[in-house]
Homo-oligomer: A and B are copies of this chain.
Amino acid sequence: MKFYDCQPAPSPRRVRIFIAEKGLSDKIETVQIDLRSGAHLTPEFERINPFRTVPALELDDGTCISESIACCRYLEAAFPEPALMGRTPKEQAVIAMWEHRCEWDGFIAGSELLRNTAAGFKDRALTGPRDHGQIAELAGRGRRRLAWFHDFLDQRLAECAYVGGDAYSVADITALISVDFAARQKVAIPETHANLLRWHAQVSARPSAKL
């Protein structure tokens, strides 16, 4: 199995952290795809992943798994311990709910902000092979969504140790990469959000978060 990664990008970091939490970092070959130079848009990479996105996992039979949550699903099913996507039906569903919610209002909102303002993303406002022009209003919307994301995470973390419940899970991973992605764009956790700050310090101290 190979893991197609891109070190500075938030989305592959989701899978990189997931791999580390499974204790698999030394067991899966990692290939860096330099998104800035367009390495994902080459015919060579298209043969591996027709959607031309990272992260992606290439299985030993040549099957390519793209989409972060699908990469995590493969790893969870193939390497069940430690469980990062819940055990009981309720745990699995609560974690999936928070993971998806954090992706949408955290990661996607952050992408709206970055990709519709940064000069380097001109005509690249969405990932993948197609050109999409920047829409200035989307950046403002992304910023407002991130403020709400911080608000509801802070409320959630007043009730629970972790985003998905009592145990660390993939919901924490998606929340962490989204919070850090927002911070890189100067949308920091407000100082009033003590629960979110407590959680962020805690999950950031895990060795996986350094990756």
**Chain A residues packing against B (C-beta within 8 Å):** 50-51, 57, 59, 61, 63, 65-67, 69-71, 73-74, 77-78, 88-90, 92-94, 96-97, 100-101, 126, 130, 132-133, 135, 137-138, 141, 144-145, 148, 152
Contacts and interface: CB of A to CB of B under 8 A. Distances in A.
Contacts of A100: 67, 69-70
Residue from A51, A70, A133 whose CB has the most chain B CB atoms within 10 Å: A70
Contact of A65 (B50, B88, B93, B137): B93
Contacts of A88: 77
Contacts of A70: 93-94, 96-97, 100
How many copies of the polypeptide does the oligomer hold? 2
B89 A77 contact: yes
B141 A97 contact: no
Residue from A69, A77, A130, A148 whose CB has the most chain B CB atoms within 10 Å: A77
A74 B92 contact: yes
Contacts of A74: 89-90, 92-93
B137 A97 contact: no
A148 B135 contact: no
A77 B92 contact: yes
Contacts of A145: 126, 130
A130 B148 contact: yes
A141 B135 contact: yes
19 contacts: A57-B93, A59-B90, A61-B90, A65-B93, A66-B97, A66-B101, A67-B101, A69-B96, A69-B100, A70-B100, A71-B93, A73-B92, A77-B88, A78-B89, A130-B144, A132-B144, A135-B135, A137-B137, A138-B138
